[in-house]
Structure 1
Amino acid sequence: MSDTASTGAARGPRTSPLRYAVGMFGTSIPINVIKGSMVYFYVSILGMDAAAYAAVYSVYGIIDAIDNPLFGYLSDRTRSRWGRRRPYLIVGALLLMVAMIALFWVPSAVTARTATLLVGWFAVFAILSEASDSLINANYGALLPELFPAERRRALANSLRQGFQLVAMVLSLGLTPVLARSVLGCEAADPACLDPAVGYRSLALIYGVLGAAVIIFMAVGIHEDPDAAAGDRPRFWRSIREILATRYFWTIGVVSALYLAAMAMIMGGLQFYVDHSLGGGALEATILQITVIVASVGFLALWTLVVRRKGAMWTWRVAVPVAAVSFLPLSLARTLAEAVLAGLCVGIGYSGLLATNDLMQARVLDEDARLHGVRREGIFLSAFGVLGRLNAIPTSIALASLGWFFGYHSGDDPGTQAGTAWRVYMSLYPFVLLALATLVSRFAALPIAVRDEDGAGDLPTGEVTEE
Structure 2
Amino acid sequence: MNKIFRKNAPWFMGFGMLGLTIANQTFSGVYTFFYVDKLGVTLLMFTVAKTVYMIWDAFNDPLYGILSDRTRSRIGRRKFWMLLSAPLFIFGFVFIFSPPSGFIASGNKTVLAWWLFFGLLIYETAAGMQWVNYETVYPEVYTGDRERSKGEMFKVMGEIAGVLISSTAGISLYYNLGATGMSLIIALVYAALITVCILTLSENPAHQQQPRIRFVKSFKETLSNKPFWAFNISNLLAQTVNATLAGLLLFYGKYCLKIDGDQVTVMMGVAFAPVIFLVSFWSYLINKLGAKKAWKLSFLVYAGCLTPLLFAKTFLTGVLAAFCAGFGMAGYLITPGVMRGRIIDEDIRKYGERREGVITSIASFIRQVSPIVSAVIVLAMGLLTGYKSGDEPGPYPDLTFRLLISAVPILLLIGAYLVSTQCKGYDEEIKEPI
State the TM-score bracket (shorter-chain normalisation): 0.7 to 0.9
Q: Secondary structure of the residue that 2:67 maps to in structure 1?
A: helix
Q: Which amino acid aligns with 2:416?
A: A
Residue 143 of structure 2 is aligned to residue 164 of structure 1: no
1:74 is aligned to 2:53: no
Q: Report the Cα distance in structure 2 between the residues aligned to 1:36 and 1:437, rounded to whole angstroms.
A: 29
Worse overlay, 242-251 or 55-64: 55-64
Percent of aligned positions that are identical: 27
Given the two structures, how large is their TM-score scaled by the length of structure 1?
A: 0.77
- Alignment-mate amino acid for residue 186 of structure 2: Y
Structure 2: gaps spanning 5 or more residues = 1-5
Cα distance change, pair 254–304 in 1 and its aligned pair in 2 (3 A): same
Tell me how far apart the structure 2 counterparts of residues 429 and 49 of structure 1 sit (CA, whole Å).
34
Task: Name the aligned partner's letter for residue 90 of structure 1.
Answer: L
1:318 to 292, 297, 300: 297
> 1:113-140: per-residue Cα shift (whole Å, max 9, x none)?
6887776665554454444332112111
Higher alpha-carbon deviation: 359-368 or 302-311: 302-311
**Local SS of the residue matching 1:85:** helix
Say whether 1:97 aligns with 2:90.
Answer: yes
Partner of 2:347: 368
- Equivalent position to 2:217, from 238, 258, 275: 238
Residue number in structure 2 paired with 1:415: 391
Quick one: distance in 1 between partners of 2:63 and 2:35?
Answer: 30
Match of 1:143 among 134, 137, 141: 137
Instruction: Give the structure 2 partner of residue 460 of structure 1.
Output: none
Kindly tell me: are residues 92 and 107 of structure 1, through their superposed partners in 2, closer, same or farther at Cα, counting changes over 3 Å? Answer: same
| TM-score, normalised via structure 2 length | 0.82
| SS of equivalent to 2:274 | helix
Amino acid at match of 2:155: R
Q: What corresponds to 1:264 in structure 2?
A: 243
Q: How much does 1:384 deviate?
A: 0.9
Contact between 2:19 and 2:194, CA under 8 Å: does it hold in 1? yes
**Which amino acid is the alignment partner of residue 262 of structure 1?**
V
CA offsets 1:60-109 (integer angstroms, 9 cap, x no match):
44332211111011111111222211121123333333333444557786
For the residues of structure 1 that align with 2:117 and 2:227, how far apart are their CA atoms?
Answer: 34
Correspondences of 1:396-435 after superposition (within 5 Å): 396-397=375-376, 406-408=387-389, 414-417=390-393, 420=398, 426-427=405-406, 430-435=409-414
Among candidates 165, 168, 175, match of residue 185 of structure 1: 175
TM-superposed deviation, 1:282:
5.7
Higher mean C-alpha displacement, 286-295 vs 220-229: 286-295
1:8 aligned partner:
none
Contact map agreement 1:30 1:207 (CA 8 A) in 2: yes
Aligned 8 A contact 2:146 2:286 in 1: no
Counterparts in 2 of 1:259 and 1:211: CA distance versus 1, 3 Å: farther
- What residue identity is the alignment partner of 1:239? S
Aligned partners of 1:403, 1:15: CA distance in 2, in Å? Answer: 48
Alpha-carbon distance between aligned partners in 2 of 1:119 and 1:83, rounded to the nearest angstrom: 38
Q: Which runs of 5+ in 1 are unaligned?
A: 1-12, 187-197, 409-413, 455-467
Q: Distance in 1 between matches of 2:278 and 2:375?
A: 30
Counterpart code for 1:245: S
8 Å contact from structure 1 (residues 367, 447) kept in 2: yes
In 2, the alpha carbon distance for the partners of 1:338 and 1:252 equals 34
Aligned partners of 1:43, 1:341: CA distance in 2, in Å?
Answer: 36
1:22 and 2:20 correspond: no
Verify the 8 A CA contact 2:26 2:171 in the aligned structure 1: no
Contact persistence 1:331–1:426 (CA under 8 A) = yes
Contact kept, 8 Å, 1:46 with 1:111, in 2: the verdict is no
- Shift in alpha-carbon separation, 1:172–1:243, aligned structure 2, 3 A: same
- Alpha-carbon distance change, 142 to 271 in structure 1, aligned in 2, over 3 angstroms: same
**Higher normalized contact order (CA 8 Å, seq sep 6+, divided by chain length):** 1
Distance 2:409 2:423 in 1: 21
SS at match of 1:384: helix
Q: Which amino acid aligns with 1:185?
A: Y
- Give the count of matched residue pairs: 422
What code does the residue aligned with 2:159 have?
Q
Cα separation, partners in 2 of 1:132 and 1:328, compared to 1, 3 Å: farther
Deviation larger for 105-114 or 133-142: 105-114
- The residue number in structure 2 matching 1:457 is none
Higher helix share: 2
Tell me whether 417-426 or 385-394 shows the greater mean CA deviation: 417-426
Structure-1 separation of matches of 2:94 and 2:420: 39
